[in-house]
Structure 1
Amino acid sequence: MDTFYISHGSPTLCIDEKIPARQFLKSWEGEVLKKEMRPSAILVVSGHWDTQHPAVNVVERNDTIYDFYGFPKAMYELKYNPPGAPGLARRVKQLLLDSPEGLVETVREDRKRGLDHGAWVPLMLMYPEGDIPVCQLSVQSGKDAEYHYRIGKALSPLREEGVLIMGSGSATHNLRAIYPSATTVAPWASQFDTWLRDSLLQGRYQDVIQYESKAPHAKQAHPSPDHFYPLHVAMGAAAAHNSKAQLIHHSWGLGTISYASYRFTTTHTQSH
C-alpha cells in the first residue's frame, strides 16, 4: 500500500465546489487509489491532533469533531462516522513502543476522540460511504522532523497489511498570512512550495527533514510545524520500501495555502 500526504487546506473543502482540490479528492477511488486497492483500514496522522506524547484513538465508531469556528452552518451539519479501528490502534501502539533506540516511551489510548477535520474532511470526499475503519495518530509539535520521519519508519510494516497511511496537513500553512481576495500566490509561499516539490521528487528526503535550515522561507511557510510533520510520517513509512515521491495534485487557495499532495510509491502515477 502506498503512503500519502494530503494538503487539506480549508475545512470548506468539503462543501465548496470552487476549491480545485475537492474534485481531486472526489476522484480518489477512480483515479488515484483505485477500488481494487481498497485499504483494509486507514491510519490518519492529522496536524489537528497535537499531543506531548503519541496518542491513538481507540473507538468502535468515530464521531465527527467540528474543530473550527465561524464557518457556514452547513459545515456543522455534516457527519462522517466511519467505524473505528481499535485493532489497528493497538497495532500502531505496539509498533511505536517496539521502535528502536527508545523513540517512543509511551503511547496513550484515547477512548473518546473521534475524527478532527484534518481527517474527516478529506476522507468524506475520498471514501464517502464511510465504511472503512479509521484510526488517528497524533503529532508532537514539540519534537522535530527527524522524530516524525522515524515514527513513519516504525509504522512501515502496516503497508504490507493493507493499511493506508495518510498524513493530512498543508504544504504551506500560515493562517496569519492568508489573503481571501488574492488573485496571485505570495512569492514566499511559491518558493517554499517549489523547493518542497523539487526536494521530494528528487529524493532529497534529508533536506526535507532539515527543512528549517534548507528551505527558503521555512518559518513563514510553517510558523508551527504541526501541518508539516504528517508529511514526514508518510515519507518515513515509505522510505523502507525505496519508494519515490510523486506530486498527485497541486493548486492554491487564499493566496498562500498550497494544496500540494504527494504519493510515495514504486509505480508511476500521473499528476492531476
Structure 2
Amino acid sequence: MPTRPGAAFDAFLDTTAPRAAERRDWTPEDGALPALYLSHGAPPLFDEAEWMDRLFAWAQGLPRPKGVLIVSAHWEAAPLMISSPNPGTPLVYDFGGFPQRYFEMQYATPDASAMASRVAAAMPDAEPLHQHASRGLDHGAWVPLKVMYPYGDVPVLQLSIPTHDPDRLIDLGRRLRPLREEGYLVVGSGFMTHGLPFVDFHHPDRIPGWSEDFDLWASEALARGDIDSLARYRSQAPGMPYAHPTVDHYVPLFVTYGAASDQEQPAQTVIDGYWFGLSKRSFQLA
C-alpha cells in the first residue's frame, strides 16, 4: 500500500513529467494524429507507477496536439453536449470513498473556445451541439490527462455520450475525423472491462474469468480490425454481463473507431494488463 495517497504520482511529477518539455508541437507535416481509446481508471491509479509510465510514454511519442477532445464514460447526456471551453474550468469529482487528496486535485487547462467552435462546425444542422456553460472535466478525462499532459498546457474539451448504439457512435466519430488531420487528439475514455460489483477488492491480483475472457475476445477482435464483432458484444462477447453490467465504459471505443481513417485496420494495443482484475487494454488507430 502507498505511504500516502498519490505518492507514485508525486514521484512521477518529480522524475518523469519534466520530459514533457521535450515534446514539439503538432504541425501539418505530421499528418493526422491517431484516434485513442483509454482505459482510464479511478483516482487510485495515481498510485500505479507502471500505468503512469506507459501512458506518459504514449503521449511522449506523439506531437503535442492543438487540443484534446475526449468522450468519457462518465458523461452520458443527450442531446449531444460539450463541456465549458473556459480556461481553468473546475473539475467534476464524480467518485466517492477515496482519500480527500483526490477531491482537491486540480487540472487547469487553457481556453478551448477555438476547438469548441471547430467541433460545433463538424456537427450537422439537424443535430446541433449544445454547450454546457459550467460543466468541467470528469475523472474519465482529467485522471489520464494529468499523466499524459501533466502541466495542463493543452486545451481540453469533453463530449457527452448521447447514445449506446454502436452505429450512431461510429457516425459521431466519423464527423470528428477531420479534426485529427488538423492536429486535435480524439480520445474515447472508458475501461475494457468494468464489472465493479463483481471485483474482489481484497485480492487485487486475482483476475476474474469474466474479465479475462472478455479481454481476450476484445483483443482478438481488435487485432483483426473486426468492428462488426465488437459492435455485437452483447450477444458475442464472453463474460457478459459481468464484464459490463452497464456499457458506458465500453461504448466510447466506437467513437474512436469512427474517428479512425480505416475502421477495418488492426488496432495497436499500447497498454494491457489488469488493475484489480479489470482489463486496462488501451489502443490507438491511425
TM-score interval, smaller chain: 0.7 to 0.9
Cα contact 1:3–1:164 (8 A) shared by 2: yes
1:30-81 deviation line (CA, Å, top 9, x unaligned): 3x42xxx111110010001110221011322232221111101111221111
1:26 aligned residue: 56
TM-score if structure 2 supplies the norm length?
A: 0.83
Q: How does 1:7-22 map to 2 (within 5 A)?
A: 7-14=39-46, 16-17=47-48, 20-22=50-52
Match of 2:182 among 158, 161, 166: 161
Aligned-pair CA distance for 1:222: 1.2
**Aligned partners of 2:179 and 2:150: how far apart in 1?**
23
Residue 123 of structure 2: aligned partner: 96
Q: Map 1:188-203 to 2 at 5 A.
A: 188-203=210-225
> Which SS does the other structure have where 1:4 is aligned?
strand
Runs of 4+ in 1 over 2 A off after TM superposition: 26-30, 181-184, 239-244
Q: Post-superposition shift, 1:236?
A: 1.0
CA positional deviation for 1:93:
2.4
2:246 aligned with 1:224: yes
In the alignment, does 2:163 pair up with 1:149?
A: no
RMSD of aligned Cα (Å): 1.7
What is the rounded CA distance, in whole Å, between the counterparts of 1:225 and 1:264 in structure 2? Answer: 21
Matched, 1:126 2:155: no
Q: Is residue 2:131 matched to residue 1:109?
A: yes
Q: Distance in 1 between matches of 2:192 and 2:281?
A: 6
* TM-score (normalizing by structure 1): 0.87
Deviation at 1:149, TM superposition (A): 1.2
Q: Distance in 1 between the 2:169 and 2:36 partners?
A: 15
Structure 2 unaligned spans of 5+ = 1-32
Do the aligned partners of residues 88 and 241 (structure 1) sit closer, same or farther apart at CA in structure 2, a change above 3 Å counting? Answer: farther
Residue identity in the other structure for 1:215: A
SS in 2 for 1:188: helix
How many residues get paired?
252
Corresponding residue for residue 285 of structure 2? 264
Which of 181, 191, 216 aligns to 1:170? It is 191
5+ residue gaps, structure 1, are 266-272
SS at match of 1:221: coil
Q: Distance in 1 between matches of 2:56 and 2:175?
A: 30
1:6 aligns to 2:32 (yes or no): no
Partners of 2:44 and 2:108 in 1: how far apart? 18
**Alpha carbons of 1:241 and 1:250: their partners in 2 closer, same or farther (altered >3 Å)?**
closer
Q: Distance in 2 between matches of 1:80 and 1:116?
A: 11
Letter in 1 for 2:84: V
Distance apart, 1:230 and its partner CA: 1.1
Amino acid at match of 1:213: S
- 2:84 maps to 58
Residue 281 of structure 2 corresponds to residue 254 of structure 1: no
Q: What secondary structure does 2:267 align onto?
A: strand
TM-fit CA distance, 1:241: 7.5
In terms of mean alpha carbon deviation, does 238-247 or 165-174 score higher?
A: 238-247
- Deviation at 1:158? 0.6
